[in-house]
Copies of this chain bind each other. A is one copy, B any other.
Amino acid sequence: MMMMRAGLHAVRAFPSFSRSPSGHSVSGVLQIQGFGTQWKSPSAFQSLRPFSKVSLWPFNTQPKDFSEPNDSWSPEMRKMYDKYFALCEVEAEGGERETEGGEKKRAPWRKLPSYNRALKHATGGVYLSKVIQTKARLFTRNIEEEGAAFEYVVFMNKQEKRCVCIFQSGHLLEGPPGHVHGGAIATMMDSVTGTMTGYLSGPVVTANLNINYRSPIPLGTVVLIHSALDRVEGRKTFATCKVTSIDESKLHTEATEDVTVAFQYSSARLQ
């Protein structure tokens, strides 16, 4: 059902594959968060964790996280990454940091992983992705060559209901000579906004995307994509998005996007 909706962003991006010391995943339960019937209510959702810690699957279950730094990243890209990564919670400790008083405190920012299929964001989805339409690849992660197309990483601030994506455009994204294609910009804005609203609300479908192009983006440059939750009206979530230079002095593109939450109860989590 859910998988039949347009623009669905399966981005409730739990790091649900906890690594064993050997580096292999030790959770192997086929449980599709957001797609299955398990996800009944916000409280039930919170407690969703793989119930088996022993992998029953013969596959290497650790999908590649495309948002990790690689050699194609420019110094600017790496610098911005380091800046936001320093604000992040420590993943291995479940997002908690010890304060002076010995209490645990959540860091406001989190780096979201990025796979080459939306399916893989769901628990168990990595297995499904080997079975269902195995050749299919996420549009923004469909090119093997590092740096050739979309290089990006999304940092989420759950408290402030906003996220920042650091995006470096590769030579395969050309539109006007020497500049990024308007469709590639639209793709990134849709992806980032969908990722954010999906993270906050559960799976969503894009209903409307309204983009104003202000200033072109030269191929190869690094820009920031800021997406923020605007308001929630019933099942509809409204968000804004803008693309700026890394020092945020120049506005390249701005957009509004509204998405429909696929499950009624999900929007309650935002209020």
Residues of A within 8 A of B (CB): 3-10, 117-119, 132-133, 135-140, 142-143, 149, 171-179, 181-184, 186-188, 190-191, 194, 205-217, 219, 252-253
Distance, CA A215 to CA B176, complexed state (A):
30
For residue A176, which residues in chain B have a CB less than 8 angstroms away from its CB? 3, 5-10, 118, 205
Q: Which of B133, B142, B213 contacts A149 (CB 8 A)?
A: B142
Copies of the polypeptide in the assembly: 2
Distance, CA A8 to CA B183, complexed state (A):
12
Closest to A215 in B: B6
Distance, CA A26 to CA B264, complexed state (A):
64
Distance, CA A173 to CA B191, complexed state (A):
13
Contact A181–B187 (Cβ < 8 Å): yes
For residue A6, which residues in chain B have a CB less than 8 angstroms away from its CB? 176, 179, 182, 213-217, 252-253
List 10 tightest A-B contacts by C-beta distance, closest first.
A183-B187, A6-B216, A8-B176, A139-B181, A142-B172, A186-B186, A7-B182, A136-B174, A210-B210, A135-B171
